[in-house]
């Protein structure tokens, strides 16, 4: 049984033009310690999907099972990183992280909570910015605080919602490497699901990539395994044969679904994705 | 040059207002001119803390009585209004329950509340506090409520994702996020409290700027009425400025 198991997940929203089906028949298995990226275009329902997986919203149908337990709300084992940082502006970087630590380890002594929070910030290179408020930090530094907040609670499951989408290209590169290090440098590997619209980012960080394919009609996105050795760098990916193949596969899946999509997509369409039987990139190269 | 103009323009405005006042005093024989008002009132202003008897005190002393009464009524008002605002902000059920009552109670004049206060409490002092509290609380209730509703979804998500307890969510997220709105409410509430004080002192005859105004009207010393009116205006302006400064500091921190 996979660590995160998603079966027949469906979600629709009421809209002026009738019920809008955002997701339908979503099926996904994520193994313990695996890094899975879900890649899709804007408005394809990726964020909705992640909210469902994390238990932030509840589905209309289907089930999400995390570590054998059905997800009905936000799990204590999970952490979340949002695209827009979601830091509390009235708290310093340290206080923001401490709030998470206090909630995750309520029985720990205050000094211990502070030590954990400080360490988490030091790991992302913000040891000298502990007392700064979010508005005194650059976008990249804010997202580092947000990463520190997520890792400080020692989560077993990590949900990343376009974590670097709001950053400039250079900052994004640096943070992607930071994230890769944070994920790798742990005794117990964290299981991660990341939402992104960048194929390159997905190849850089993931073990497996699942394209979201927007309908109608509902179509399947076949997952692709990325078997490149770590640590990976963007420069290396630019010429690597397997990376090139993975890129082509994902882009082809996304563009195909774009072409099938009607011009007027406001009525929406069910999106299906199945990720239980991954295709291997290397075998088809 | 610009600073000179900035100083000169308000002075021009004040001069014109004094001119209009003077013109009106020529037309209405009972209305004292600005100069006569000064002559007859200067003892109150030059000896602002003098106590010559219950009905004859320096203007600062009178203002102090009024301010103390306002402070108590205002604090009572916001002590009720702030939690009420939070409750209404968090719960749409409560809002739907109490919104009609609030809309009906809000436009009631202090003059209407005062007799009810006298019936309820039998004494003029608590009746005045009641009238101030019940009139001045609404801006705080409404602003606090709006503040809670305006909390961005991001912050609620943080509370959800970190699985914060209700208490922690309230103290660490809801209160700080609502603070600027709350203070705008306090500022408006204080303005209303100051409006109510004059009316309640006039009706109950308690010592203070409003009581003084009514007493001097009954003794036909019209210059003192004008003194009281100007005092009320200046104190009200100063109060608003002070609250404004507190608000600005809060926003900056």
Question: Taking 60 as the threshold, does the pLDDT of residue A281 lie above it?
Answer: no
Contacts of A86 in chain B (CB under 8 A): 154-155, 157-158
Write the residue in B163, B168, B177 that is nearest to A74 by C-beta: B163
Give B45's contacts (C-beta < 8 A, 6+ positions apart).
Answer: B59, B227
Q: In degrees rounded to 5, what are phi and psi of residue B220?
A: 60, 25
Question: Taking 70 as the threshold, does the pLDDT of residue B198 lie above it?
Answer: yes
What is the rounded average pLDDT of the residues A210-219?
64
> Average model confidence (pLDDT) for chain B?
90
Assembly ipTM: 0.82
**Residue A120's pLDDT is what?**
93
pLDDT tens per residue, range B5-41: 888 999 999 999 999 999 999 898 888 888 888 888 8
pLDDT-above-90 percentage for chain B = 53
Short-list A270, A220, A281, A269, CA closest to A27: A220
Q: How confident is the model at residue A266 (pLDDT cuts 50, 70, 90)?
A: very low
**Residue B18's pLDDT is what?**
93
Residues B67, B59: contact at Cβ < 8 Å? no
Distance CA B151, CA B130 (A): 32
Residue B155, token pair as written in the block: 């912050």
Query: How far A2 CA sits from the closest chain B CA (Å)?
Result: 23
Chain B: residue whose CA lies nearest to A104: B162
Contacts of A103 in chain B (CB under 8 A): 162-165, 168
Write the residue in B154, B162, B176 that is nearest to A103 by C-beta: B162
Give B12's contacts (C-beta < 8 A, 6+ positions apart).
Answer: none
Categorise residue A33: left if φ over 0, alpha if ψ from -120 to 50, beta otherwise. Answer: left
More confident of the two residues A233 and A100: A100
Q: How many CB atoms within 10 Å of residue A118? A: 20
Question: Taking 60 as the threshold, does the pLDDT of residue B132 lie above it?
Answer: yes
Q: How many CB atoms within 10 Å of residue B13? A: 10
Residue A268, token pair as written in the block: 């929406």
Q: At what angle do helices B2-27 and B34-46 cross, to 10 degrees?
A: 110
Helix (H, G, I), strand (E, B) or coil at A236: helix
Name the residue with tokens 């394919």.
Answer: A213
Mutate which of A103, A152, A153 to disrupt the B interface (most B C-beta within 10 Å)?
A103
The verdict on a CB contact (< 8 Å) between B157 and A56 is: yes
What is the rounded average pLDDT of the residues A252-260?
76
**Residue A256's pLDDT is what?**
76
Helix (H) or strand (E) holding A138, with range, is none
What is the rounded average pLDDT of the residues B196-225?
86
Query: Within the 91-120 window of chain A, which residues sit less than 8 Å (CB to CB) from chain B?
Result: 91, 99-100, 102-104
**Residue A97's pLDDT is what?**
96
Write the residue in A74, A84, A91 that is nearest to B160 by C-beta: A74
Short-list B197, B172, B42, CA closest to A92: B172
Distance CA B167, CA B152 (A): 19
DSSP H helices in chain A? 46-54, 93-104, 110-123, 139-152, 169-184, 199-205, 234-239, 241-260, 281-284
Residues A248, A256: contact at Cβ < 8 Å? no
**Residue A255's pLDDT is what?**
80
**Residue A99's pLDDT is what?**
96
pLDDT tens per residue, range A173-203: 889 988 988 887 777 778 999 999 899 999 9
β-partners of residue A211 are A39
Question: Taking 50 as the threshold, does the pLDDT of residue A19 lie above it?
Answer: yes
What is the rounded average pLDDT of the residues B117-137?
91
Name the residue with tokens 């305006």.
Answer: B150
Chain A: residue whose CA lies nearest to B158: A86
What is the rounded average pLDDT of the residues A61-87?
90
Contacts of A88 in chain B (CB under 8 A): 155, 158, 172-173, 176
Chain A contact for B164, CB < 8 A?
A: yes
């Amino acid at each position: 049984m996979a660590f995160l198991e998603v079966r027949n997940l469906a979600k629709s929203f009421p809209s002026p033009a009738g019920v809008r089906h955002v997701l339908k028949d979503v099926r996904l298995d994520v193994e313990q310690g695996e890094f899975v990226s879900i890649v899709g275009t804007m408005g394809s329902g990726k964020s909705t999907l992640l909210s469902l997986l994390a238990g932030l919203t509840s589905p209309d149908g289907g089930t999400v099972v995390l570590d054998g337990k059905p997800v009905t709300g936000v799990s204590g084992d999970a952490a979340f990183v949002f695209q827009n940082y979601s830091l509390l502006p009235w708290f310093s970087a340290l206080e923001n992280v401490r709030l998470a630590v206090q909630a995750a380890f309520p029985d720990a002594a205050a000094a211990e909570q502070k030590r954990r929070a400080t360490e988490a910030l030091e790991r992302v290179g913000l040891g000298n910015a502990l007392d700064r408020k979010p508005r005194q930090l650059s976008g990249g530094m804010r997202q580092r605080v947000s990463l520190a907040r997520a890792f400080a609670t020692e989560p077993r499951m990590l949900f990343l919602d376009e974590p670097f989408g709001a950053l400039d290209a250079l900052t994004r590169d640096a943070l992607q490497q930071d994230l890769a290090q944070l994920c790798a440098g742990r005794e117990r590997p964290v299981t991660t699901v990341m939402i992104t619209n960048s194929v390159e980012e997905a190849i850089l960080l993931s073990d497996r990539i699942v394209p979201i394919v927007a309908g109608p009609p509902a179509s399947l996105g076949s997952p692709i395994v990325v078997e490149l050795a770590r640590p990976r760098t963007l420069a290396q990916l630019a010429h690597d044969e397997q990376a090139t193949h993975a890129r082509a596969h994902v882009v082809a899946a996304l563009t195909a679904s774009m072409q099938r999509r009607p011009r007027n997509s406001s009525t929406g369409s069910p999106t299906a994705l199945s990720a239980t039987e991954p295709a291997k990139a290397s075998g088809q190269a | 040059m610009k600073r000179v103009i900035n100083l000169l323009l308000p002075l021009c405005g004040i001069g014109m207002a004094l001119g209009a006042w003077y013109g009106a005093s020529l037309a209405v024989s009972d209305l004292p001119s600005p100069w006569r008002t000064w002559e007859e009132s200067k003892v109150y202003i030059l000896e602002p803390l003098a106590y010559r008897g219950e009905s004859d005190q320096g203007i600062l002393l009178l203002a102090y009585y009024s301010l103390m009464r306002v402070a108590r009524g205002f604090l009572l008002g916001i002590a009720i209004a702030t939690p009420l605002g939070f409750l209404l902000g968090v719960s749409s059920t409560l809002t739907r329950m109490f919104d009609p009552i609030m809309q009906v109670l809000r436009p009631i004049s202090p003059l209407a509340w005062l007799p009810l206060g006298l019936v309820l409490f039998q004494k003029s002092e608590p009746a005045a506090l009641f009238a101030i509290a019940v009139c001045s609380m609404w801006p705080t209730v409404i602003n606090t409520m709006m503040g809670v509703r305006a909390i961005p979804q991001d912050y609620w998500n943080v509370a959800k994702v970190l699985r914060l307890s209700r208490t922690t969510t309230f103290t660490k997220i809801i209160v700080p996020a609502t603070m600027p709105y709350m203070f705008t409410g306090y500022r408006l509430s204080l303005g209303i409290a100051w409006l109510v004080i004059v009316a309640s002192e006039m009706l109950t005859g308690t010592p203070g700027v409003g009581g003084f105004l009514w007493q001097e009207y009954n003794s036909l010393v019209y210059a003192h009425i004008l003194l009281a009116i100007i005092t009320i205006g200046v104190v009200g302006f100063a109060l608003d400025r002070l609250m404004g400064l507190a608000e600005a500091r809060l926003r900056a921190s």
